[in-house]
């Protein structure tokens, strides 16, 4: 079956009510028919639900869909995207391990390495390059994980997935990719050899700014280990959020088609404006990794980043004169959102760290929504004129 059909037709087994739409399994616990069955389910000798911190039918439906759409063996859902990142790291890393991580990742990802994993005897190196060959010199005998985002947030850097997968296999390193900006509809890293894929499901997978969630998809051996960690640590997704996210996947393809067409149109319009210094969008021919993006992505995604030909005050003026677009720290919503990363999403990084990945004071990020493109452009245009 094709992507859209899998997203719509993968459902929990129909119950006694013969329902067409899967219900929410809003239960914390489950019943057992007898003591032997209870013992066997607890000991994993037979399948079954024990407790919703472990498994829940609503959550499993969402996880199964993600695994199918990402072309991975299994998946596990978490409360948020950051919970997914923390869970993957905490489960797979041990004292003395080393992590290679792109400098161009979400600020909180760097902060959990700085503030938590480092004090537990885990070291890390931040690499400022999209080329796998440049990373090899930083590999140590104890390097366990390699982690990056493609496209990255907010600079929209593109990493050639196959090259990084090959390098990791060569050195026995587990590769993890944050696929949040692309979604499984536009890009499937596992098809290029990447071991694990992470999403903040709060973004495009939900797509309407309603619930939070995260998900980790990958090889069975890694997901089984993560499942054991989650049973004890408890970053489990709620049944209600899982139900919403599973239903949201049914419209992911049609939503992403519109996000991408709107984003490309906005990027092309911005490229022709005098007060714009630079526009970044993976499917613009001016993007330095345009050819790589075309090879591994179906379309360019819904995020556009641009630099104003002005100072910090001009950036503030632009945001203060926006009329329709929302000022919010979120992205991937039906509603277009405009953000100033240096003072919001990446404010926890030092100025030097931001400069390394091209986040300067005049950088603006737009999560392009599903409104009519003429209205999106008109709002940005009038704010730009006033700024």
Return residue ranges of the chain for CATH 3.90.1150.10: 252-386
Query: In DSSP terms, which residues pair with 339 in a beta bridge?
Result: 365
The dihedral built from the CA positions of residue 191, 247, 331 and 261, taken in this order, carries a sign that is positive
Q: What is the pLDDT of residues 210-250, one digit of tens each?
A: 999 999 999 999 999 999 999 999 999 999 999 999 999 99
Cα 137 from chain centroid? Answer: 27
Instruction: State how far the Cα of 289 lies from the Cα of 322, in Å rounded to an integer.
Output: 30
Question: Per CATH, the architecture of 252-386 is what?
Answer: Alpha-Beta Complex (3.90)
Q: For each of the chain's 387 residues, which pLDDT tens digit applies?
A: 999 999 999 999 999 999 999 999 999 999 999 999 999 998 889 999 999 999 999 999 999 999 999 999 999 999 999 999 999 999 999 999 999 999 989 889 999 999 999 999 999 999 999 999 999 999 999 999 999 999 999 889 999 999 999 999 999 999 999 999 999 999 999 999 999 999 999 999 999 999 999 999 999 999 999 999 999 999 999 999 999 999 999 999 999 999 999 999 999 999 999 999 999 999 999 999 999 999 999 999 999 999 998 877 888 889 999 999 999 989 999 999 999 887 766 676 677 777 776 778 788 999 999 999 999 999 999 999 998
- List, by residue range, all CATH 3.40.640.10 domains of the chain: 3-249
3-249: CATH topology: 3.40.640
């Amino acid at each position: 079956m094709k992507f859209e059909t899998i997203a719509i037709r993968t459902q929990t087994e129909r119950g006694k009510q013969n329902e067409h739409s899967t219900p929410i399994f809003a239960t914390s616990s489950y019943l057992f028919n007898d003591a032997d069955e209870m013992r066997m389910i607890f000991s994993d000798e037979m399948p079954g639900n024990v407790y919703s911190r472990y498994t829940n039918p609503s959550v499993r439906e969402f996880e199964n869909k993600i695994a199918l759409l990402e072309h991975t063996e299994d998946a596990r859902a978490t409360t948020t995207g950051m919970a997914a990142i923390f869970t993957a790291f905490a489960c797979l890393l041990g004292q003395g391990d080393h992590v290679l991580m792109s400098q161009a990742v979400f600020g909180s990802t760097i902060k959990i390495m700085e503030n938590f994993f480092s004090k537990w005897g885990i070291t890390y190196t931040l690499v400022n390059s999209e080329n796998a060959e440049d990373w090899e010199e930083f590999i140590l005998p104890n390097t366990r994980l390699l982690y990056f985002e493609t496209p990255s947030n907010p600079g929209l850097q593109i990493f050639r997935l196959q090259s990084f997968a090959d390098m990791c296999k060569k050195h026995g390193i587990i590769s993890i990719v944050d696929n949040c900006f692309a979604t499984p509809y536009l890009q499937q890293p596992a098809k290029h050899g990447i071991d694990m894929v992470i999403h903040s499901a709060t973004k495009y997978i939900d797509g309407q700014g309603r619930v939070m969630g995260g998900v980790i998809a990958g090889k069975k051996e890694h997901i089984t280990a993560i499942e054991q960690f989650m049973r004890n640590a408890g970053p489990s997704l709620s049944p209600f959020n899982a139900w919403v996210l599973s239903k949201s996947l049914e419209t992911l393809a049609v939503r992403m088609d519109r996000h991408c067409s709107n984003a490309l149109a906005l990027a092309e319009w911005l490229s022709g404006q005098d007060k714009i210094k630079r526009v970044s969008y993976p499917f613009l021919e001016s993007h330095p990794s345009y050819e790589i993006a075309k090879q591994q992505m179906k379309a360019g995604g819904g995020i556009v980043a641009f630099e104003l030909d002005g100072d910090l005050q001009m950036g503030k003026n632009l945001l203060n004169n926006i009329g329709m677009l929302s000022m919010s720290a979120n992205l991937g919503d039906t509603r277009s959102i405009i953000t100033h990363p240096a003072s919001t999403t990446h404010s926890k990084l030092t100025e030097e760290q931001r400069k390394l990945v091209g986040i300067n004071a005049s950088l603006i990020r737009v999560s392009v929504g599903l409104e009519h493109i003429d209205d999106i452009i008109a709002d940005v245009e009038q704010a730009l004129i006033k700024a």
